[in-house]
Amino acid sequence: MSWKSTLQTSATILSLVIVINELRRAYARISQLETTLTPLPPRSRGIESRIGNTPLIEIKSLSAKTGCKIYAKLELLNPAGSSKDRVALAIIKAAEIQGLLVPHRGDVIYEGTSGSTGISFAVLASALGYTAHICLPDDTSPEKLQLLEALGAEVEKVKPASIVDPNQYVNAAKRGAEEINQTSNSGKRALFANQFENDFNWRTHYTTTGPELLKQLDNIDIFINGSGTGGTISGVGRALKEFNKSTKIILADPQGSGLANRINYGVLYDTVEKEGTRRRHQVDTLVEGIGLNRLTWNFEQGEKYIDEAIKVPDDQALKMAKYLCINDGLFWGSSAAINCVAAVKAALKYGPGLNIVVVACDSGDRHLSKFWKHAAQVTRTITLEEVLADS
């Protein structure tokens, strides 16, 4: 072999070695990338096995601006998209234990809800051998009606009415279940789930959501959430207070709701009552799922653990929703936005240096036609100072 061809062969071998090394390095980098993804959850059986143990993430932009660490419990990652999966599962399992529901007997779960609870019941009813029958006001957004129908729930639309009206949607659900139980001779039974008054609602948050948070974060200085049924704030509030009584529990309350006054001054009252300006909605706000002008069993179970309430106007919630989307890539529902406004207010009042936890109950896509129709119009250059400014 000539010295020339020896040189050529050596150069080829050297190039090959270099290419192989580069490939190895690239592969090592890709493998490293894979290890930074979420750990693979264990294999499990049925959609109901994926409820709970939701992640806790830090909201980087809010932490950086406030000097506190602000975290969100991602309840929107439950399989039917909200924390209501926990409640629906707990109510169904308790009813099965009491013999009130038997799978695949034709039993029907009745609930009066225009929100996430109906979606959780629709999904879990199918998964566990039941039919969900959801009563809701006839002006509920078309995408929610479509979703419930697509999920196979029976949907009953009723005229919007006050809770004292027998045709109000929660009362309609109760009556529907009673009628089946009184008249059915096929053995089929109906359960009125009754999330507002059902004791298993707050209890599931007390035994699951609260203890999960205690595992996820060493020291929780402040926990903030709105109240719809009151189940979450009562259950989590009680679990956190029993662990450490100096943890502050703060209610984030939308405009039009009387709960903030109840906590801060002992009277369930909102200014719209006095001014007579209340519109059609029971709670006059764009925010869905939280705020109320009556006391529920689930709220009462945790009221004594709530230290204070922070009122959040719709305008601040809309701006916060867009701020989180632009700065953190977090596309959340209206109650999560309210919680984050309250978290920043609490951080500025009590911080810096505190760990603050809020709940992100559901995603923005459930709110596209109402809350997000307005939030989308907020400028993408919105600052946190502008979020908090009064309109």
> Which residues form the catalytic set?
84
Quote the CA–CA distance of 302 and 202 in Å, as a whole number: 8
Residue count of the chain, please give it: 391
Coil, helix or strand for 238?
helix
Buried b (16+ CB within 10 A) or exposed e, 177-190: beebeeeeeeeebb
137 binds ligand PLP (CB under 6 A): no
> Residue 160 — φ and ψ, nearest 5°?
-60, 135
112 binds ligand PLP (CB under 6 A): no
- In whole angstroms, how close is the CB of 226 to ligand PLP at the nearest point? 5
Strands 131-137 and 108-112: parallel
Residue pair 173/135 in contact by the 8 Å Cβ criterion? yes
* Total number of residues that touch ligand PLP (CB under 6 A): 17
**200: number of Cβ within 10 Å:** 22
284 binds ligand PLP (CB under 6 A): no
- In whole angstroms, how close is the CB of 53 to ligand PLP at the nearest point? 18
250 binds ligand PLP (CB under 6 A): no
Q: Of 137, 210, 289, 364, which lies in the binding site for ligand PLP, with binding defined by CB under 6 A?
A: 289
Quote the CA–CA distance of 140 and 153 in Å, as a whole number: 15
291 binds ligand PLP (CB under 6 A): no
Residue pair 198/91 in contact by the 8 Å Cβ criterion? yes
Site for ligand PLP in 316-375 (CB under 6 A): 333, 335, 361-362
Angle, CA 126 vertex, CA 56 and CA 89 arms, to 5°? 40
228 binds ligand PLP (CB under 6 A): yes
Task: For ligand PLP, give the closer residue by CB, 115 or 351.
Answer: 115
Task: For ligand PLP, give the closer residue by CB, 140 or 227.
Answer: 227
76 binds ligand PLP (CB under 6 A): no
| 354, HSE (Cβ side, Cα atoms, 13 Å) | 21
Residue 328 vs residues 39, 103, 372, 375: alpha-carbon distances, Å: 22, 43, 17, 15
The piece of 24-32, 46-54, 114-122, 316-324 that touches ligand PLP (CB under 6 A) is 114-122
Q: Of 168, 194, 232, 247, which lies in the binding site for ligand PLP, with binding defined by CB under 6 A?
A: 232
Quote the CA–CA distance of 267 and 53 in Å, as a whole number: 36
The residues, ordered by sequence, that sit 6+ positions from 372 with a Cβ below 8 Å of its Cβ are 321, 364
The piece of 136-144, 230-238, 254-262, 320-328 that touches ligand PLP (CB under 6 A) is 230-238
Task: For ligand PLP, give the closer residue by CB, 189 or 374.
Answer: 374
253 binds ligand PLP (CB under 6 A): no
Task: For ligand PLP, give the closer residue by CB, 66 or 234.
Answer: 234
Task: For ligand PLP, give the closer residue by CB, 65 or 86.
Answer: 86
Q: Of 78, 114, 140, 227, which lies in the binding site for ligand PLP, with binding defined by CB under 6 A?
A: 227
| Residue of minimal Cβ distance to ligand PLP | 289
Strand arrangement of the beta sheet that strand 190-192 belongs to: 154-158, 131-137, 108-112, 190-192
- In whole angstroms, how close is the CB of 385 to ligand PLP at the nearest point? 26
231 binds ligand PLP (CB under 6 A): yes
The piece of 137-145, 228-236, 342-350, 369-377 that touches ligand PLP (CB under 6 A) is 228-236
In single-letter form, the type of residue at position 245 comes to K
The piece of 22-30, 97-105, 109-117, 376-384 that touches ligand PLP (CB under 6 A) is 109-117
304: which DSSP letter?
A: G
Cα dihedral angle (348, 352, 356, 360), rounded to 10 degrees? 50
Binding site for ligand PLP (CB under 6 A): 115-117, 226-232, 288-290, 333, 335, 361-362
